[in-house]
């Protein structure tokens, strides 16, 4: 423990000196070097962090190279480890039906999506995917896009503007905040999952704005908790607002058949104005989608910059997502298995005395460590034990809420879950983490 304490103290000393070293100049200065990227504050900040880690022989846990994948295991540095950092929630990624469908689609259509769908036209695969998503989610229509991050940005940018207000849960994803900044609408950050605060604010301010958009996540990707959808629907109806739910991490995870927050809460999907999701998690592909009324989707189809001015979803990605959707619909037992594994991880963590934060046993499982330096050390030591779970550190979360984040997949064995929790408990205890 003494060695760990010394390392943490030296890291803190180095870290305390970084703000002055990387602070951006208040005004442009004459002289050479302004076109040199190495003088950019962002580069200097990365350089300082790398120097500190190198000086203390602390391995950077980020951007590790994965050499091979086999189910829930990955090979890194010629060593197989159990991976708890993947989004393959329903363990569909390795299903041979995906590879077969992608191969068949490529043989028929080639690889490229050719052009923007507005001018190049839709592939039949695109329409099948969108029809399938709308049917599965219970909405009138859906639209598939090439990037999950850009989907949130484009939707908010398109639907709101000056004279409107976007009320965003303070724990929402970066893509939501990027979208509202681009929109020109006013922005209000709502305390996390505080529907009473939201209702009070709207009761005092609603008449100042034309359109109001409320944005929440179906399953919060850093904390593993969910919002009170019934309360949000009641509030949006009362104040004639739109409600948008980011279902990136909740489709395939929440609800008896994986249909997301609406199914989990027992709310008809039509009561929510816009559902956003990604194709990179449960659907084992890459891209995003929006689902809602015909009118909402028509606006986005013809006006959203991230769709109109972007190439269509590629053939392999479309075929993979469509096939994963078909597997999910046909095999809801995958959802039940994921729920059981997630509940086991939460129960085991609580039995070890770990701080699970706001986690509810919904596939996203945070273990609060404390400060960012402790979280990094704990993550590296868990990796040494054969389990990959990355640290989430400041500024992504408050420094004293730094954590290890585990993503549970349906095919994680009970033995692997128990061993991972035991490793995390021992290693967090070593670094003096939360609850120890």
Kindly state the tokens that stand for 99. 């590879």
Q: What is the pLDDT of residue 435?
A: 65
- Write down the pLDDT at residue 61: 81
Residue 16 confidence (pLDDT) = 42
The residue ranges of the chain whose pLDDT is under 70 are: 1-32, 48-49, 51-58, 434-436
Sign of the CA dihedral 204, 206, 212, 218? positive
pLDDT, position 21:
42
The pLDDT score that the predictor gives to residue 9 is 52
Q: What is the CA radius of gyration of the chain?
A: 23
**Which contiguous run of DSSP H or E holds residue 97?**
helix 96-109
* Phi, psi of 409, deg, nearest 5: -115, 155
Assign 3-class secondary structure to 270-306. HHCCEEEEECCCCCCCCCEEEEECHHHHHHHHHHCHH
């Amino acid at each position: 423990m003494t060695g760990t304490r010394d390392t943490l103290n030296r890291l803190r000393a180095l870290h305390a000196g970084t703000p002055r070293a990387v602070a951006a100049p208040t005004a442009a200065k004459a002289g050479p070097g302004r076109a040199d990227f190495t003088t950019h504050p962002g580069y200097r900040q990365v350089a300082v962090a790398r120097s500190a880690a190198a000086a203390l022989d602390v391995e950077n846990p980020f951007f590790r190279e994965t050499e091979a994948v086999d189910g829930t295991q990955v090979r890194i540095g010629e060593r197989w480890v159990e991976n708890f950092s993947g989004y393959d929630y329903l363990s569909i990624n390795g299903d041979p039906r995906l590879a077969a469908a992608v191969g068949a689609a490529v043989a028929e259509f080639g690889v490229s999506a050719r052009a923007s769908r507005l001018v190049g036209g839709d592939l039949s695969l695109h329409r099948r995917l969108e029809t399938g998503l709308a049917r599965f989610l219970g909405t009138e229509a859906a639209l598939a896009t090439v990037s999950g991050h850009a989907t949130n940005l484009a939707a908010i940018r398109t639907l709101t503007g000056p004279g409107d207000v976007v009320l965003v849960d303070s724990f929402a994803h970066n893509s939501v905040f990027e979208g509202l900044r681009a929109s020109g609408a006013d922005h209000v950050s709502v305390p996390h999952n505080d529907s009473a605060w939201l209702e009070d604010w709207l009761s005092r301010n609603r008449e100042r704005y034309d359109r109001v958009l409320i944005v929440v996540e179906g399953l919060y990707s850093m904390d593993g908790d969910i919002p009170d959808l019934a309360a949000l629907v009641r509030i949006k109806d009362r104040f004639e607002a739109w409600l948008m739910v980011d279902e990136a991490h909740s489709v395939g995870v929440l609800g008896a058949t994986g249909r997301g927050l609406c199914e989990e809460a027992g709310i008809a999907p039509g009561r929510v104005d816009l559902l956003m999701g990604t194709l990179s998690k449960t659907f084992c592909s890459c891209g995003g989608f929006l689902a809602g009324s015909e009118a909402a989707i028509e606006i986005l189809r013809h006006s959203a910059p991230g769709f109109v001015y972007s190439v269509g979803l590629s053939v392999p990605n479309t075929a993979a997502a469509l096939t994963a959707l078909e597997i999910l619909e046909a095999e809801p037992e995958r959802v039940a298995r994921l729920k059981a594994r997630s509940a086991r991880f939460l129960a085991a963590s609580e039995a070890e005395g770990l701080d699970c934060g706001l986690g509810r046993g919904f596939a996203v499982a945070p273990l609060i460590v404390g400060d960012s330096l402790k979280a990094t050390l704990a993550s590296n030591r868990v990796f040494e034990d054969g389990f990959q779970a990355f640290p989430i550190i400041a500024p992504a979360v408050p420094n004293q809420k730094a954590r290890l984040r585990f993503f549970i997949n349906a095919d994680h064995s009970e033995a692997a879950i128990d061993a991972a929790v035991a490793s995390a408990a021992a290693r967090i205890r070593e670094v003096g983490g939360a609850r120890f």
